[in-house]
């Protein structure tokens, strides 16, 4: 239905961080592992069957040395000291707050080494995509630093600290995509947006929002056909605190808020149990994806929605 060889995926990099000197790109990595057939489908991140010896050793060493645990965002003067790509998203590796597997870590070491050799994030991603045997073209949204920073009642924190470190507990006041106004879409991104675009069931604020903050990105979407798949199953989001974050940016929390989040959308695919209504063509199906059959069902619904644009 959608040929992988003719498909380009643009990945969010606002969630990227530098952790203990290693550049970690969570959304890119999930797509690498999915395309390479090694994704842990129980967690939908990391590598299936991975070990965590280094992560455990870091925790043990911090405990023995009486060092602090939890997310440790480096001081402000260190946030822009080092590779530019990691600006405003640098964390100490002491008592590593993200559970990174050993094989997963090998990817981060390789990516970081490629960056240190002078590769752009796009070039490093292409190298890794080839290594994992991806059939699709995988592009990071930008080769420039864009940091998803969540301003909460407890202060400003990077999204990974807010979600992984604090499980989304602090009340969100607003969300900032620092660096986005000076960043540029990565090579090939705007060209890819000239074709029909499908927005997956991702968090509209912290997964798609960083892309929309890039100069020219939203304008490109306004000029092409866009189908958005709802990230909501009933009152629950596929992943992450989507409702809280949507409320923080003045979008109605839930499916109804998608028209605010995606004003350029030409059609929507929503869950069959969702009673939200839109002026745009809407296809309803079971949007839960737990395996290949589910993916094919949702793909058929997307294809149906594309066909309805300009017809309904």
- Residue 90 pLDDT more than 90? yes
pTM of the predicted structure, to 2 decimals: 0.95
Judge whether 29 is annotated as a binding position: yes
pLDDT in tens, 221-244: 999 999 999 998 866 777 667 878
User: What does the DSSP assignment read for 44-65?
Assistant: TSSBTT---HHHHHHHHHHHHT
* CATH architecture for the domain at 4-180: Orthogonal Bundle (1.10)
Range 193-308 classified under CATH 3.40.50.10680? yes
**CATH 3.40.50.10680 residue ranges for the chain:** 193-308
Output 54 or 249, whichever has higher pLDDT.
54
**CATH 1.10.8.240 residue ranges for the chain:** 4-180
With 0-12 / 13-18 / 19 or more C-beta atoms within 10 angstroms meaning exposed / middle / buried, residue 247 is: middle
pLDDT at 311: 59
Cα separation, 92 vs 75, in Å, equals 10
Q: How confident is the model at residue 79 (pLDDT cuts 50, 70, 90)?
A: very high
């Amino acid at each position: 239905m959608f040929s992988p060889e003719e498909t380009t995926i643009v990945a969010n990099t606002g969630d990227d961080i530098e952790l203990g000197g290693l550049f970690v790109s969570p959304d890119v990595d999930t797509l690498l592992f999915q395309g390479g057939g090694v994704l842990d489908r129980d967690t939908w991140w990391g590598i299936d069957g991975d070990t965590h010896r280094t992560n455990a050793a870091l925790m043990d060493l911090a405990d023995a040395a009486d060092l602090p645990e939890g997310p440790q965002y480096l001081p402000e003067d260190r946030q822009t000291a080092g590779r530019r790509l990691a600006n405003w998203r640098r964390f100490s590796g002491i008592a590593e707050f993200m559970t990174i597997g050993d094989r997963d870590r090998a990817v981060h070491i390789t990516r970081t080494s490629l960056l240190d050799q002078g590769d752009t994030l796009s070039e490093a991603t292409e190298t890794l995509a080839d290594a994992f045997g991806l059939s699709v073209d995988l592009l990071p949204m930008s080769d420039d630093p864009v940091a998803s920073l969540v301003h909460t009642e407890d202060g400003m924190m990077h999204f990974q600290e807010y979600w992984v470190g604090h499980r989304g507990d602090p009340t969100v006041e607003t969300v900032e995509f620092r660096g986005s106004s000076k960043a540029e879409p990565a090579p090939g991104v705007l060209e890819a947006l000239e074709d029909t675009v499908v927005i997956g069931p991702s968090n509209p604020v912290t997964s798609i929002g960083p892309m929309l903050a890039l100069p020219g990105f939203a304008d490109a979407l306004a000029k092409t056909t866009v189908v958005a798949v709802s990230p909501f199953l009933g009152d629950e989001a596929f992943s992450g605190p989507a409702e809280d974050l949507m409320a923080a940016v003045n979008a109605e929390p839930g499916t109804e808020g998608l028209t605010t989040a995606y004003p350029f959308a030409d059609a929507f695919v929503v869950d069959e149990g969702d009673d939200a209504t839109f002026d745009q063509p809407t296809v309803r199906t079971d949007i839960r994806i737990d395996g290949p059959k589910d993916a094919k069902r949702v793909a058929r619904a997307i294809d149906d929605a594309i066909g309805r644009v300009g017809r309904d």
